[in-house]
């Protein structure tokens, strides 16, 4: 995604490894998981990324004791939307990624075999304690499927006063804070208030695009509302001028998760 007018950026084993650090409320679980993706209607780079997303989702599923995705072998890029949704069930704060030898996928004897990327990860997954949805966070996008060049907007409302943060989980495996930023300070919503970011008459525009050489990509907007009583601000924790690594972001976020409520909103971008 490009922000126009402001910033341009383009089988499981579980081990309980102890409680989380003092800031977070939950448990830290070490999980081993595998993911695979056949190169069907996508680039090799996309297949690698989706295989990694599948492995991450599997690790989170096992650590959190939930089932989000049933498929183990991926041949459809749209399934990545389901993998991303799993990220709100637990937060991978550290991971060791090992790529396995290239495999093959063959639908039936009459079909030619297709290259298959396989990956194994060892992940430290922070599983937060169950949190009541005290903020009543509601969030949605103006669409779930976009054409490259179209503008994305996110609507947010709360039932209890909270500070709003908006983050982009990008197709190149980074996390960028969109709100607040260098030009827009903390946004505080009161009970029953609703905001749209960016506003239609704003000079800021969130323009979606695919990565170079990709016909489609999957990304997500993560909306976070933060209790003012926690005494922290998004800009003191997350940079607004650079994208963060996946586990780097969630390692910091796990420290304040007990003060927040969040929603992850996946979307697909297709090349025109």
- Of the candidates 141, 159, 162, the residue with the CA atom closest to the CA atom of residue 150: 141
Q: What is the DSSP letter of 217?
A: E
Assign 3-class secondary structure to 160-175. Answer: CCEEEEEEEECCCCEE
Query: CATH 2.60.40.2550 in the chain, residues?
Result: 138-270
- The model's pTM is 0.85
Kindly provide the b/e burial profile for residues 89-117, where b requires at least 16 CB atoms within 10 angstroms of the residue's own CB: bbbbbebeeeeeeeeebeeeeeeeeeebb
In contact, 125 and 106? CB cutoff 8 Å = no
Two structure tokens written together for 260 = 């927040």
Query: Of how many residues is the chain composed?
Result: 272
pLDDT in tens, 198-236: 988 888 889 999 999 888 898 999 999 999 888 899 999
Residues contacting residue 231 through CB under 8 Å, at least 6 positions apart? none
User: pLDDT by residue for the chain (272 residues), tens digit each?
Assistant: 654 433 322 233 444 344 344 346 889 999 999 999 888 888 888 889 889 998 999 999 999 887 655 455 555 556 677 788 888 889 999 999 999 999 998 888 898 998 999 999 999 999 988 777 789 999 999 999 999 999 999 999 999 999 999 999 999 999 999 999 888 888 999 999 999 999 888 888 899 999 998 888 989 999 999 998 888 999 999 998 899 999 999 999 999 999 999 999 999 999 88
- The answer to whether the Cα torsion of 156, 6, 92, 235 is positive or negative is negative
What residues form DSSP beta bridges with 195? 156
* CA atoms within 13 A of residue 223's CA, in its CB half-sphere: 22
* Residue 167 CA, distance from chain mean position: 9
CA distance 206 to 249: 21
User: Could you give the maximum distance between any two Cα atoms of the chain, in Å?
Assistant: 63
- SS3 of residue 45 by DSSP: helix
Two structure tokens written together for 246 = 């996946």
User: β-strand 260-270 against 73-74: which pairing, if any?
Assistant: unpaired
Residues contacting residue 90 through CB under 8 Å, at least 6 positions apart? 29, 60, 63, 64, 125, 126, 127, 128
Residue 182 vs residues 20, 172, 226: alpha-carbon distances, Å:
32, 23, 19
- The answer to whether the Cα torsion of 176, 230, 131, 33 is positive or negative is positive
CA distance 227 to 259: 6
Two structure tokens written together for 1 = 């995604």
CATH architecture of 138-270: Sandwich (2.60)
pLDDT in tens, 142-169: 999 999 999 999 999 999 999 999 999 9
> How far apart are the two ends of the chain, measured CA to CA in Å?
15
């Amino acid at each position: 995604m490009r922000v126009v007018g402001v910033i341009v950026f383009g089988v499981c084993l579980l081990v309980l490894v102890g409680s989380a650090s003092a800031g977070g409320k939950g448990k830290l679980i070490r999980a081993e998981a595998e993911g695979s993706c056949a190169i069907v209607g996508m680039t090799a780079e996309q297949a690698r990324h989706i295989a990694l997303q599948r492995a991450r989702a599997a690790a989170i599923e096992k650590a959190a004791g939930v089932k989000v995705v049933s498929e183990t072998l991926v041949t459809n890029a749209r399934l990545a939307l389901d993998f991303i949704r799993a990220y709100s069930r637990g937060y991978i704060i550290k991971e060791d990624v090992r790529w396995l030898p290239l495999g093959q996928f063959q639908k039936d004897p009459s079909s030619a075999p297709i290259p298959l990327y396989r990956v194994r990860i060892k992940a430290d997954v922070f599983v937060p304690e169950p949190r009541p949805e005290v903020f009543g966070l509601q969030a949605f996008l103006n669409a779930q499927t976009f054409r490259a060049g179209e503008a994305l907007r996110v609507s947010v409302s709360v039932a209890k006063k909270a500070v709003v943060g908006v983050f982009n989980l990008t197709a190149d495996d980074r996390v960028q804070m969109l709100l607040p930023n260098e030009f827009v300070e903390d946004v505080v919503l009161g009970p029953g208030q609703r905001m749209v970011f960016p506003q239609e008459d704003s000079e800021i525009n969130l323009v979606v695009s695919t990565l170079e050489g990709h016909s489609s990509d999957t990304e997500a907007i993560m909306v976070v509302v933060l209790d003012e009583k926690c005494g922290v601000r998004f800009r003191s924790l997350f940079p607004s001028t650079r994208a963060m690594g996946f586990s780097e972001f969630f390692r910091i976020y796990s420290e304040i998760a007990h003060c927040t409520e969040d929603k992850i909103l996946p979307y697909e971008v297709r090349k025109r």
